[in-house]
Amino acid sequence: MFDNNVFIEGSCRNVEQSGELIGYELGTYITYYRGIPLSMVNDIGVKEDGESVPREAIRCSVDQGEYWFTLDEMETVSSYAHKWEYGEPMTVRVLKKGGLSKGTHQIVLTVNVRTAYIPVPLEGSKERTVEI
């Protein structure tokens, strides 16, 4: 239903820190019609050119990069301090030395969340061709 929200077009870019490429980032909007605490994010998955990115390499931020959380840390994040609001992007960072190589890549982003009123998790997935 909200699959077009999952991977924000034009949001994929390499990330540099201290002069070194440490990975890449993509943006996503929530696949629900209202906000949720980060602890209600079941899973986020990334596939890069057909290969699944290890869960341990994924970090997420809902406050423009001030605080970064692993997927495991998000399970226990305080609900009042860090909430993913509808219409506000979450940044998904993939830690990968050297980032994405120059050229075209197929990236698939999958977001799976729990909600207060729906008994099954909502999952959305979007594949995009990105140019670095």
pLDDT value at position 2? 66
Phi-psi category of residue 64: left, alpha or beta, with phi > 0 → left and psi -120 to 50 → alpha: left
- List Cβ neighbours of 102 (8 Å cut-off, separation of 6 or more): 132
pTM for this predicted structure: 0.93
pLDDT value at position 1? 54
Report the candidate in 35, 9, 10, 12 with the shortest Cα–Cα distance to residue 25: 12
| Whether the predicted pLDDT of 15 surpasses 70 | yes
* CA dist., res. 26 & res. 76, Å (int): 23
Query: What is the per-residue pLDDT across 85-131, written as a single tens digit (0 to 9) for each?
Result: 999 999 999 999 999 999 999 999 999 999 888 889 999 999 999 99
Which of the residue ranges 10-14, 39-43, 65-69, 115-119 would you say has the lowest mean pLDDT? 115-119
The answer to whether 14 touches 97, Cβ cutoff 8 Å, is: no
Residue 98 CA to its chain's centroid (Å): 19
Phi, psi (rounded to 5 degrees) for 122: -100, 130
* CA dist., res. 129 & res. 131, Å (int): 7
